[in-house]
Amino acid sequence: MTEPATTPDASAAGTWTLGDLRVNRIGLGAMRLTGGAAFEEGPPSDRQVSIRVLRRAVELGVNHIDTASFYFSRLRSANELVNTALSPYPADLVIVAKVGPGRDPSGEWYSATPEQLRGQVEENLRQLGLDHLDVVILRRMSQPSIAEHFGALATLRDAGLVRHLGVSNVSAAQLAQAQAIAPVVCVQNQFGLDVRAQDEVLRSCGEQGIAFVPYFAIAGQGRERGAAASPGGSERVLAVARAHGASPAQVRLAWTLHHGPHVLAIPGTGNPDHLEANVAAGALRLTDEEMRLLGAPPA
């Protein structure tokens, strides 16, 4: 008789604390809920499927959702989908919103000035139906210094609109710049098997007890276009995947999580099957030999 499949649970990967908010290390990125890469022309997602993915994520123990008001496609808004699917929100759900980049109603991009950040925070609050945001991440655009922008967010934290702050797309020096202004609870930088030039930031976060949250951990160099556009489907990844009866995407997520207990994952998907597989990857344990084979020293 065939054993029933085990339902994956996001708690299998362990937990981390964002300030005073405990989250499971496997979360969900909301970008792909809108269809495609959220930023490109193409058919909108199936609204009911996206809502089902969000509700199923919570059922599987996901209590960390990463979103932004600029995650929208032709007919879909990620924040609106999150609000519709999950409000009233579970008490343990942590919603993380990004600001810095912005898009006008037609979809044109702009880089927010420090003075515009309050409007971006308030737009996220309106769309999500909240009176404060658990975590707001400043996504650095091209500016070499983030002090003025981060200082503006620190003011909003003091005003009660924001509980905790994070930064994204930063160097170790820029992280230190932010830390001198207000506590940073998380750093979102691109990191994965194909993109590894983050050792200093990764190490600095671990030393300071800051969550390191890679984006495009599965997509790699494919970025918004997805894993199918990445050249990184190497034989080494496939070999490890075969050994565990897992997919290459699951191996990529597991490899990322193995870089320290402070490393979180926020794989984005609007596909219910991919959601289940991503959550299941949190229970995948790679050996030291497999980590070396994939090109990283054992933890």
State the catalytic residues: 71
Nearest to 239 by CA among 287, 285, 290: 290
DSSP-assigned letters across all residues of 234-264: -HHHHHHHHHHT--HHHHHHHHHHTT-TTB-
Contact 139, 101 (CB under 8 A): yes
Contact 135, 94 (CB under 8 A): yes
Nearest to 192 by CA among 282, 268, 294, 279: 294
- Amino acid at position 206, single letter: G
Residues in the chain, how many?
299
The residue whose two tokens read 């299941």 is 280
For the chain, the straight-line distance linking the first and the last C-alpha, in angstroms and rounded, comes to: 38
Q: What is the DSSP letter of 134?
A: E
Vertex 172 angle, CA 29 and 101, to 5°: 45
Residue 103 has φ and ψ, to the nearest 5°, of -135, 135
Give me the sign of the Cα torsion angle 148, 149, 151, 152: positive
Neighbours of 176 (CB within 10 A): 13
